[in-house]
Amino acid sequence: MASETQLRAFGHKICSIAAGEFMTREEACETYKQVILNEQPELQQGAFLMAHISRGPSIVELSGAWDALDGYDTSKLKISIKGPICDIVGTGSDTLKTVNCSTPAAFIASACGLPIAKKGARLVTGVSGASDIMDILGIDLNAPLNQAEKCLEMYGICYLPGEAFLKSGWARLIKIMRFTSVLNIIGPLTCPCEQTDSIVIGGYSQEVCAQLIQVLKEIKMPSAVAPFGMSDSTEKDKGIDEFSLAGPTRVVELRDGSIQTYEVTPEDFGLKTVPISKIASSRSAYENARRILNVLKGKYDTPDADFFCMNAAAALYISDMAKSYAQGFDKAKEALASGKAFEKLERLRELQGSLQTGNIAE
């Protein structure tokens, strides 16, 4: 338990942040360390998290928060793979809810020969998080990390639930939090697989995408794309943390230390724009998981399939396995139609599976 002096110092920090003051990277690391390690009462932790996200974190502060999460809470994989390893993940908390995309995109990209160390967590604000989907598809979220290591090395795919590789802080917080915080921003930036050298990381706003890439630059990630997808029929500040099949996507790209911002459309992938309703989330995690399984098992010519392949294409592009988004999409669609993406799910079940083969009837 914190001493009275520590309680007062933390309380003063909350008040100063609420008043608009900023922390150094070292101060942010120390403050988030106290949250992650549960060194302050939950009331103070919650007040701090809300004050910080409401005021708006700086890049320096986000980097400090990442230092705390990486240094005090992240277990590391030991991998001997040579060549690129990619992650596909989103922040969640976006305004337009779609069917889960990063999970099937990970299977598809891996089926193209790109090793994927996929991170995820249970839902915070939506219908289903990646861990909810993986659980339904038969993945054991409590499997030891050495199983993930083995799966990645043998089959080029693994799933890393935050509840497993984040030792205590995130696992505790994610169970009780139902609001957006800095942890939603930096959580997807964690590196349990230190060899990960590229990432597709969707943000819940245009501003967050820029922040994500700037933090990734600070922590020396070689390459990344952060998409904020939109719909032609919605306001520009409403969107999804994925490449969008329903309108333009604003992309912030990091490559070799340089950052550029641009817009892509479905046409850049060789696709036609569809209404957002075609890729909107179903009402339950089970329905979303069923849609994913349907695509993996044969429904290749659907908006869902195109949506998943778009985001797999981005992983291929940023990992230098495709020269363009369009070429990446063609490779992704071919791998999906070959059945190789479904095989990746089966291999994942083989090494990281639960006693059931999935909670969906197949």
> Which residues of the chain carry a pLDDT beneath 50?
361
pLDDT digits (tens, 9 = 90+) for 82-119: 889 999 998 877 888 899 999 999 999 999 999 999 99
CATH number, position 49: 1.20.970.10
Q: Classify residue 358: in a domain, yes or no.
A: no
Q: Is 3 helix (H, G, I), strand (E, B) or coil?
A: coil
Alpha-carbon gap, residue 207 to 334, rounded angstroms: 34
Alpha-carbon gap, residue 340 to 109, rounded angstroms: 10
Q: Classify residue 299: in a domain, yes or no.
A: yes
Question: Are 234 and 277 spatial neighbours (Cβ–Cβ below 8 Å)?
Answer: no
Question: Are 227 and 241 spatial neighbours (Cβ–Cβ below 8 Å)?
Answer: yes
Q: How many CB atoms lie within 10 A of CB 80?
A: 7
Q: Classify residue 55: in a domain, yes or no.
A: yes
Q: Which of 73, 95, 129 is the last residue of a domain?
A: 73
**Angle ∠(138,144,148) on CA atoms, nearest 5:** 70
pLDDT of residue 361: 46
Question: Are 211 and 234 spatial neighbours (Cβ–Cβ below 8 Å)?
Answer: no
Question: Are 51 and 86 spatial neighbours (Cβ–Cβ below 8 Å)?
Answer: no
Pairing of the two strands 198-202 and 223-229: parallel
Q: Quick one: tokens of 224?
A: 């990344």
Q: Classify residue 69: in a domain, yes or no.
A: yes
Alpha-carbon gap, residue 189 to 185, rounded angstroms: 7
> How many residues would you count in the chain?
362
Residue-wise DSSP of 239-289? -BSS--SSS-EEEEEEETTEEEEEEE-GGGGT-----GGGTB--SSHHHHH
Quote the number of domains for the chain: 2
Domain identity same for 64 and 112 = no
Alpha-carbon gap, residue 201 to 203, rounded angstroms: 7
pLDDT digits (tens, 9 = 90+) for 28-55: 999 999 999 999 999 999 999 999 999 9
Instruction: Identify the H or E element spanning 89.
Output: strand 86-90
Global confidence as pTM = 0.89
Q: Classify residue 265: in a domain, yes or no.
A: yes
pLDDT of residue 355: 64
Domain identity same for 13 and 116 = no
CATH number, position 178: 3.40.1030.10
Biggest distance spanned by C-alpha atoms of the chain: 63
| Domain span holding position 27 | 4-73
Domain identity same for 299 and 177 = yes
